[in-house]
Structure 1
């Protein structure tokens, strides 16, 4: 299998965009408790691997801006 750098770059950009959107949603909905809400959401069993990656990145965004 060959690695397609363009596909990887697009996936990375999509991850960043979705994480930023998720962080903004959590910040609006939960305010100062956004990081705790994201961690609780991350512990749920029904979150996919993509969702986990988005939430981990959103937590990182919330911590740096917090």
Structure 2
């Protein structure tokens, strides 16, 4: 099983540019993602066949 927590940290810290989640993985990923305090900064872009590409966006005030 993938370590989604680590992959989210990698994307957040710029180690990984994006995180690709397939339809079959989504429910497992979502369980981890919902626990993130900054989950709204992870922006998902839907792609073909139910694939979602997540990138980390910071907001400037």
TM-score norm. by structure 2 comes to 0.33
Length-normalised TM-score, structure 1: 0.31
Higher strand share: 2
Between structure 1 and structure 2, the one with the greater Rg is: 1
Query: Structure 1 or 2: larger helix share?
Result: 1
